[in-house]
A and B are shown apart, each in its own frame.
Chain A
């Protein structure tokens, strides 16, 4: 199995630009999570989908952030407009609700906003 796939692995953009991060969960997993990791704040849960439906987006910092999951094999996290304080590593993770609850993380996207 390929594991969780994220793209791009690195993104450098200028303040004000739109950024789109992509995630392909493990086939058969029905839960998907977006996290943000920084030195200052640690690992933060941004949003959680179950069966493609957003269940909890209380961690989304502000309206500049949005996430979609149009089908079971693809999700996006969009930041528009981006700001320097959005610089972080963004992780996508998937799991099977109702089983072991182990989360499988992707390799992350390192975002730098200048």
Chain B
């Protein structure tokens, strides 16, 4: 079956630090990959996505590149802000079969001023 593994948190950084949150996946087919973000008290919302190998998704200064050879989709940001404090979820969706997404456990990010 499909699975998504994320680094455990919390990740604690100072403002303007570089962020990496690791995500690796296992899939039977050729999935689309997603990063969702959940701010306190809210539902998840899509941050970025990539649909094929070597695609780079980007949004709000965050980036992730679909690496088929390493089955990875690591999230990066060059300079984090306090407002980036949230929980980040890596997810995959195979465009066939049951169309049920697979989510990682989530990684909490705390950014201090």
Contacts and interface: CB of A to CB of B under 8 A. Distances in A.
10 contacts: A4-B43, A31-B99, A43-B106, A50-B99, A56-B98, A93-B43, A101-B101, A102-B34, A103-B44, A105-B43
B45 A105 contact: yes
Contacts of A31: 99
Contacts of B34: 102
A102 B49 contact: yes
Contacts of A45: 100-101
Contacts of B36: 103
Interface string A8-44: 0000000000000000000000010000000000110
Given A93-B43, A101-B95, 15 more contacts: A31-B99, A43-B89, A43-B105, A43-B106, A45-B100, A45-B101, A91-B43, A91-B44, A102-B46, A103-B44, A104-B46, A105-B45, A106-B43, A107-B41, A108-B43
Contacts of B43: 4, 91, 93, 105-108
Interface string A27-70: 00001000000000011010010100001100000000000000
Interface in B62-113: 89, 93, 95, 98-101, 103, 105-106
A108 to B, nearest CB: 5
Interface string A72-114: 0000000000000000000101000100111111111000000
A104 B34 CA distance: 13
Contacts of B99: 31, 50, 97, 101
A4 B46 CA distance: 14
Given A55-B98, A91-B43, A100 B103 contact: no
B32 interface: yes
A94 to B, nearest CB: 11
A103 B46 contact: yes
Contacts of A91: 43-44
Contacts of A102: 34, 46, 49
